[in-house]
Chains A and B, each alone.
Chain A
Amino acid sequence: MEYQDEGRDRRITQLRKGILELAVMGVLYDERHYGYSLVRVLSESGSISLKEGTIYPILARLDRDGLVRSEWVESDQGPPRKYYTLTSSGRQLFDALSQELDVLVSLVQQKWKVSEQSEHARKKLVVRKG
């Protein structure tokens, strides 16, 4: 039975939202950004396509937790921009989280390997039977 599209989309959105905070920290790791430029960088990478406004609750949360530092900078192209930089504790947390993510990703890939191996073994059995 096919899994319903609506439920699948909701889960994909949840997965993206969960990873978005880490992605934001990753973008701010080496370079300072303001909200709009951050959205552009994230959307240019392709896989993350969320509502642009959802970046601000994340930035607010990171700011509140002391993981980013913000400052207003005047712009000659329009209104001033609020730039964000990752703090040293933000960098430490990013390193720890990305390691954790690597573990999770390898866990998921491990599952693929297992299913590939079992598929391979099944084929072998079929060959022997023949």
Chain B
Amino acid sequence: MYSYPDVVAKIASDYLERVKSQLRLVSAHEQGDFLREIESHLFEAYQQTPGEDDVARILAVLRNFGEPAEVVADRLPGAMVRSGTKHNLPLYVVGGILIALFGLPLGSAGAGVLVGLLAAVAGILVAYYAVAGSFLLVGALTMLIGLTRILLPQLFDRLVVLGYIQLGGPVGEFLDHFSPSYQGLLMILFASVFAAAGLGMLWLGRYLLRGLRFLFSLTFDWMRRFAQRVRRKLRQDNREAPQLGKVSFVKQ
């Protein structure tokens, strides 16, 4: 690539590859033209950027130039901007398979099966969030108990005597090996694991929610179109029925 040092050429060509990958929906001619133009810009900017460290120079040039997505923004046809569509593709496929398997061959019975499936998935989602909530609750309570053990050991003992805190069995035996402060610390550690698990589940739940929302909208859209088709057919039949009656009356 002209008089670039090898390492700079590699960085520049990587950048151009990234731009190229964003231009997949553009014609080959336009793609080539655009890449040549950027290549020319990068080369000249590199030559004009002072410094002895070649890598730092080309990185400064690329930083000033901007991210590929910003650069190609107006090169893509409006409807083909890829953000989002790529991520939804697997869900479209799943939705399509569900409709093809259950909706099309079985008609309204298939729709019933689909609704049932969606209800089951929604149930799973509710259960999922319930578990996440339980984890968070257990984490918070255990942390509170741990803090009580460290800061207010008398209160902790009183709660044990009253039966509000029950630490029998192997857990109690295990904790008896440590001092009250260590017991508290262990409880806080245990609580942190639960809290982290709960928060992690909540975070992952976003994807589940998004997927379910998509499946619901896909199914309802399909059902709405199906209902419209049925309504249109019924209207057509109604329109034809009185005409037949009229014809028979005239004939009489």
Q: Which residues of A contact B (CB under 8 A)?
A: 34-36, 39, 51-54, 56-58, 60-61, 64, 72, 75, 77-82
Residues B19-77 near A (CB distance < 8 A): 33-34, 36-41, 43-45, 47, 64-67, 70-75
Q: Which residues of A contact B65 (CB under 8 A)?
A: 51-53
Question: Does B164 interact with chain A (Cβ within 8 Å)?
Answer: no
Q: In the complex, are the beta carbons of B72 and A36 less than 8 A apart?
A: no
Max count, chain A CB within 10 A of own CB: residue among B39, B44, B66: B44
Q: List 28 A-B contacts (CB under 8 A).
A: A35-B41, A36-B41, A36-B44, A36-B45, A51-B64, A51-B70, A52-B45, A52-B65, A53-B66, A54-B70, A54-B71, A56-B37, A56-B71, A57-B73, A58-B74, A60-B74, A60-B75, A61-B74, A72-B36, A75-B40, A77-B44, A78-B2, A78-B40, A78-B43, A79-B40, A80-B36, A81-B44, A82-B36
Q: Which A residues are in CB contact (< 8 Å) with B44?
A: 36, 77-78, 81
Contacting pair A80 B75 (CB below 8 A): no
Q: Give the shortest distance, in Å, between B82 (CB) and chain A (any CB).
A: 16
Q: Please report the C-alpha to C-alpha distance between residue A32 and residue B77 in the assembled complex, in whole angstroms.
A: 27
Is there contact, CB below 8 Å, between B36 and A56?
Answer: no
What distance in Å separates the Cβ of B173 from its nearest Cβ neighbour in chain A?
Answer: 55
A-B CB contacts (within 8 Å), total count? 66
Q: Is the CB of A82 within 8 A of B40?
A: yes
User: What are the residues of chain A within 8 A of B66 when measuring CB–CB?
Assistant: 51-54
Contact A53 B45 (CB under 8 A): no
- When distances are taken between beta carbons in the complex, the residues of chain B under 8 Å from A52 are 41, 45, 64-66
Kindly state the separation between the CA atoms of A56 and B36 in the bound complex, as whole angstroms: 12
Let me know if B70 and A53 touch, CB within 8 A. yes
Instruction: Return the chain B residue nearest A34 by Cβ.
Output: B40
B57 to A: closest C-beta gap in Å: 14
**Interchain CB contact (< 8 A) of B34 among A56, A75, A77:** A56
Q: A35-B40, A57-B70, A81-B40 are in contact. List 9 more A-B contacts (CB 8 A).
A: A52-B65, A53-B66, A56-B71, A75-B40, A77-B44, A78-B3, A78-B47, A79-B36, A79-B40
Is the Cβ of B41 less than 8 Å from the Cβ of A57? Answer: no
Given contact pairs A54-B71, A56-B71, A77 touches B47 in the complex (Cβ within 8 A): yes
A33 to B34 CA separation, bound complex (whole angstroms) = 16
Docked CA distance A24–B249 (Å): 78
Known: A51-B66, A51-B70. A56 touches B38 (CB 8 A): yes
CB distance from B150 to the nearest CB of A (A): 40
